[in-house]
Each structure stands twice: as structure tokens, then as C-alpha cells.
């Protein structure tokens, strides 16, 4: 089959004209479904449109239980079934207006907005990006360097996957509470952090960047780990993942009569799963033309009809395997192993350095962390294991809580624990929809058998 393609560098003025002639439509519907609010988005299509919409809904802390996407040609139409964090429909007028205004602003934008929901402001913080080989105590050493150089950590997110660690840290000066811009001071901090990241065994190489620009933290973490090739597994990891039946099930096959490649994903459902998979496909330069997502039970099912940005479907087994491995990695990065610890206390300089030092001294390793500051309060979440990656015994946790403060550090159930064993083999969402009489999908002509 011949590939169709369009120029990747569409003139901005033409794109703006198309958007003005076809203004976006955002409709909130609370009548069509008993269980969810329907958010319908229609707009002129551009690469990344789907990701921008999913990103907005995710940043508003909405759960997407179903999604139907169609974006052939120069127009896309997406329908999302959303609920709030308590599982209820969206009735609050202020929230509804915010959804409409934010989605409309995204659709009108020819380029992604610098500031929006979930984007850190360029003028408020200095941004530090770190990536290197993960090891016990690494986070403690990073925060110790920042504390020694009078850097206040306003927010941070840390991911670990496949022996790699990536983090985005937002800092201000301890005294002025302003971004740090002095080049000599930043150069010294960079030198020390590179030394900490490199360690003795980082054969792939540690990387670090400092900027004043805004960024969407979670998307940037995906990009950093993807660029660092965390989806490449060693023989030991391959053997381990093969025996782990809770691993995500991803298949890729070509649908000859439509000229698409069909990507199926089946895994345990969790918050932000759709964002993670759409983000990865977008950053790998694939365009999602049609998709269906169902996430109304313990498992999530996603089916994407994709082509590369040059218009071609997947053309080789190597490309197919790369997509599979990259989507598996995207799902696993946020599937945190370990016990969830929540820390809430008055914020102070050096708090993170002290807490992570106590973790390290008690043999705990942080697999993921979310650090936020709300006014004068520090609200932090840590996922911890022992130094070997095994569950932490209760005696160690109680010792840590006693040292940090019983009323400050709380043990919470792991919301992202691994899924129970699931059956292997190939599958298609088409079979699932037939049993549920999803006629809408068949009307699109997309659910026929592919070979």
C-alpha cells in the first residue's frame, strides 16, 4: 500500500485560518449517560490534538471511563465519558465552565500553551531535570545538595523504571523565594548533581538540565525516560517480565483494508493511564485516527488505529516490537511498586533532605515520589521498598514514622499495586463490543477483523 503524507511544517497562518473558519466545539452532556458526564470535543485537527485534550481532562483530576476518538481528515471528534475522583458525574457549573474554557483554548492554540493546567510557570521557579541510574539513597543525595546550596524545593516528581531514575524539580532561592538565575551558582549546583547522578556504575550516562521555561511535568518525564531508552530491557529484566503475568498485554497488527496499524492494550486500570499511552504514541510520532477506550472495571482496554506521521502503517517486526516495548514502559513507569507513604507537615527548608535521609538510613528505597507545596504546607507522597526492591517490613516503617513523626507520616494502601494474573493471548476490543452491542463503533466501519 502506498503511504499518503502531508508536510510536517504546515504554515502557521494557514493553520490559524483553518481554526478560525472551523472554531472548536466543546459540549458537556449530563443527560445521555446515567453514570458519567459526556465531554464532546470537535475541532480542526493537528498532530497532538488528542494528547492536548486528554492532558486537560487529566490535569483537572477527571477520570476517563470511556472514550471514542475519530479524526480522519482535517477535523477530529472526540467523546469522553468522565467522572470525578469520587466516581460521580460532573454537576458543578464552575468545573464545567473550566472544562469548556480550557479545552476551547487548547483547540484554538496552534502551538501547545506555555501555561495551562499542570504546567509550571516559567517566572516562578527554576526547573531542574535529572536522569541517571537508580540506586538506594540517590534521592536523599540529590535533595541534600539542593539544601546545602540554599535551594527550596517547591515541587518535584520522581519516577523510576528499569533501573533508571528521572525527576523534574522546581526550586527557588531560600531567602528571596524567587527563581535562581545566577550562572555561577547554577553551574556549581549542576556540577555537584551530575557527580551524584553519575555514581560509579552509570554506564549509560547521567544527564541534567536547568531552565527557566515552563513544562508539563508528567509529559516531560515520559519524554526524558523515552529518550533515555528505559524501554530497553536487559536479559535479566526480560526473563523477569516474561514470568510476570501481571505485565501489560500490548499487541500491534496491521489492518490491510483500512491502511492502519491497530494497537491493542490491556492492563490493570489506574489513574492517568490514557494520558500515558497517548503521550507515548504522540512522542513516537504516531497519529491516532480512531480509538476506543473502556475503563469501567479493574482492567482497561484500549484500541488505537494509528499511522506514522508520514502516513505509513507499521512496516516491520522491529518497529512493531518497539511500539510494544515503549507502551509497556509508559504503563509501568507510573505503576509504582512499594508501600505508599504520605507526608503532610509545615513546609520548611531541608524537609525533603531530612525525610529522604531517614529513609536511606533505615534501608528504604524510593521508587516514586510526588512533592507539592500548598501554601505553607508540604504534601508529599513516597512509594518505598527495601534496598533490594522487596516489601518493607512493618517494624522498619514504624521506626521511620517514630523518627519523622507519627502524625506527619502516614501509611496508605498502594493505589497502583500490580494487577492479578490475567489470561494471555491475542485479543480485540471488537469482540468485547459485540457482546455489549456497541453499534456506534461498527457504524465507523472500524471493528472488522484485521489480518
CATH value at residue 388: 3.30.70.260
430 and 405 within one domain: no
Query: Can you give the pLDDT of all 451 residues of the chain as single tens digits?
Result: 456 444 444 455 555 554 555 567 899 999 999 999 999 998 877 888 899 999 999 999 999 999 999 987 778 899 999 999 999 999 999 999 999 988 887 654 544 433 333 444 446 889 999 999 999 999 999 999 999 999 999 999 999 999 999 999 999 999 999 999 899 999 999 999 999 998 766 666 778 888 876 779 999 999 999 999 999 976 444 444 444 557 899 999 998 778 899 999 999 999 999 999 999 999 999 999 999 999 998 999 999 999 999 989 999 999 999 999 999 999 999 987 899 999 999 999 999 999 999 999 999 999 999 999 988 899 999 999 999 989 999 999 999 999 999 999 999 864 433 434 344 444 444 444 443 333 333 334 444 444 4
In DSSP terms, which residues pair with 350 in a beta bridge? none
What was the pLDDT predicted at 47? 82
**pLDDT tens digit string along 237-258?**
444 444 455 789 999 999 877 8
325 and 344 within one domain: no
Residue 222 lies in a domain: no
Residue 177 lies in a domain: yes
Could you tell me if 288 and 69 are in contact, meaning their C-beta atoms sit under 8 angstroms apart? yes
Residue 223 lies in a domain: no
432 and 310 within one domain: yes
376 and 328 within one domain: no
145 and 107 within one domain: no
Residue 362 lies in a domain: yes
358 and 312 within one domain: no
141 and 110 within one domain: no
Q: What does the DSSP 8-state code read for residue 296?
A: S
Strands (E), 329-405: 339-346, 364-374, 377-386
93 and 142 within one domain: no
Domain count, the chain: 2
Q: 199 — alpha (psi -120 to 50), left (phi > 0) or beta?
A: left
349 and 204 within one domain: yes
Grid cell 497502583 — which residue? 416
**pLDDT tens digit string along 81-134?**
999 999 999 999 999 999 998 888 765 454 443 333 344 444 688 999 999 999
Could you tell me if 350 and 140 are in contact, meaning their C-beta atoms sit under 8 angstroms apart? no
Listed residue (372, 362, 265) closest to 323, CA to CA: 265
What was the pLDDT predicted at 84? 93
Report the Cα–Cα distance between both ends of the chain, in Å, rounded: 14
What was the pLDDT predicted at 111? 45
340 and 330 within one domain: no
What was the pLDDT predicted at 16? 52
320 and 207 within one domain: no
- Extract the C-alpha cell encoding 318: 522491529
Neighbours of 398 (CB within 10 A): 12
Strands (E), 286-401: 286-294, 299-308, 339-346, 364-374, 377-386
Question: Whole-prediction pTM value?
Answer: 0.83
Give the separation between CA 151 and CA 210, rounded to whole angstroms. Answer: 13
What was the pLDDT predicted at 396? 95
What was the pLDDT predicted at 258? 81
321 and 438 within one domain: yes
How many alpha carbons fall within 13 Å on the CB side of residue 232? 6
Give the separation between CA 415 and CA 390, rounded to whole angstroms. Answer: 17
Residue 285 lies in a domain: yes
Residue 451 lies in a domain: no
In DSSP terms, which residues pair with 42 in a beta bridge? 25, 77
Could you tell me if 251 and 427 are in contact, meaning their C-beta atoms sit under 8 angstroms apart? yes
Q: 135-140 long-range contacts, Cβ below 8 Å, gap at least 24?
A: 135/199, 135/201, 136/360, 136/363, 136/364, 136/365, 136/387, 137/360, 137/365, 138/165, 138/196, 138/197, 138/199, 139/165, 139/167, 139/356, 139/359, 139/366, 139/369, 140/353, 140/356, 140/357, 140/359, 140/360
In DSSP terms, which residues pair with 27 in a beta bridge? 40
* CA angle (418, 421, 422) in 5-degree steps: 115
Residue 278 lies in a domain: yes
Domain region containing 31 = 14-115+234-334+424-443
Residue 220 lies in a domain: no
Give the separation between CA 278 and CA 280, rounded to whole angstroms. Answer: 5
What was the pLDDT predicted at 202? 62
Amino acid at each position: 500500500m502506498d503511504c499518503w503524507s502531508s508536510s510536517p511544517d504546515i504554515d502557521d497562518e494557514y493553520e490559524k485560518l483553518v481554526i478560525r473558519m472551523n472554531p472548536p466545539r466543546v459540549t458537556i452532556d449530563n443527560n445521555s449517560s446515567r453514570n458519567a458526564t459526556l465531554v464532546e470535543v470537535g475541532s480542526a485537527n493537528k498532530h497532538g490534538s488528542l494528547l492536548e485534550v486528554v492532558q486537560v481532562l487529566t490535569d483537572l483530576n477527571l477520570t476517563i471511563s470511556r472514550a471514542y476518538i475519530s479524526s480522519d481528515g482535517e477535523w477530529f471528534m472526540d467523546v469522553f465519558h468522565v467522572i470525578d475522583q469520587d466516581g460521580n458525574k460532573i454537576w458543578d457549573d464552575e468545573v464545567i465552565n473550566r472544562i469548556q474554557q480550557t479545552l476551547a483554548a487548547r483547540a484554538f492554540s496552534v502551538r501547545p500553551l506555555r501555561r495551562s493546567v499542570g504546567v509550571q510557570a516559567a517566572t516562578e521557579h527554576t526547573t531542574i531535570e535529572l536522569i541517571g541510574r537508580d540506586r538506594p539513597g540517590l534521592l536523599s543525595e540529590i535533595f541534600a545538595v539542593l539544601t546545602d546550596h540554599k535551594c527550596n524545593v517547591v515541587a518535584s516528581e520522581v519516577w523510576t523504571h528499569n533501573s533508571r531514575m528521572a525527576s523534574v524539580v522546581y526550586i527557588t532561592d531560600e531567602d528571596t523565594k524567587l527563581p535562581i538565575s545566577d550562572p555561577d551558582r547554577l553551574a556549581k549546583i549542576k556540577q555537584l548533581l551530575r557527580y551524584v547522578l553519575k555514581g560509579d556504575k552509570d554506564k549509560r550516562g547521567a544527564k541534567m538540565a536547568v531552565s527557566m521555561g515552563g513544562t508539563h511535568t508528567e509529559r516531560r518525564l515520559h519524554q526524558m525516560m523515552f529518550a533515555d531508552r528505559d524501554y530497553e530491557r536487559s536479559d535479566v529484566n526480560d526473563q523477569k517480565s516474561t514470568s510476570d503475568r501481571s505485565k501489560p498485554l500490548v499487541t500491534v497488527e496491521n489492518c490491510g483494508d483500512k491502511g492502519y496499524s491497530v494497537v491493542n492494550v490491556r492492563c490493570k486500570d489506574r489513574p492517568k493511564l490514557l494520558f500515558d499511552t497517548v503521550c507515548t504514541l504522540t512522542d513516537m510520532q504516531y497519529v491516532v485516527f480512531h480509538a476506543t477506550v473502556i475503563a469501567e472495571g479493574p482492567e482497561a482496554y484500549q484500541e488505537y488505529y494509528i499511522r506514522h506521521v508520514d502516513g505509513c502503517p507499521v512496516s516491520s517486526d522491529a518497529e512493531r516490537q518497539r511500539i510494544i516495548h515503549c507502551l509497556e514502559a509508559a504503563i509501568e513507569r507510573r505503576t509504582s511498586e512499594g508501600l505508599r507513604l504520605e507526608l503532610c507537615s509545615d513546609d520548611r527548608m531541608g524537609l525533603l533532605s531530612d525525610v529522604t535521609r531517614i529513609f536511606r538510613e533505615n534501608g528504604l528505597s524510593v521508587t516514586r515520589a510526588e512533592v507539592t507545596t500548598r501554601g505553607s504546607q508540604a504534601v508529599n507522597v513516597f512509594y518505598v521498598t527495601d534496598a533490594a526492591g522487596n516489601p518493607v517490613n512493618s517494624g522498619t516503617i514504624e521506626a521511620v514514622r517514630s523518627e519523622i513523626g507519627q502524625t506527619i507520616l502516614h501509611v496508605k494502601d498502594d493505589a497502583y499495586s500490580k494487577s492479578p494474573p490475567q489470561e494471555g493471548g491475542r485479543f480485540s476490543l471488537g469482540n468485547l463490543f459485540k457482546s455489549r452491542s456497541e453499534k456506534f463503533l461498527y457504524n465507523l466501519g472500524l471493528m472488522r477483523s484485521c489480518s
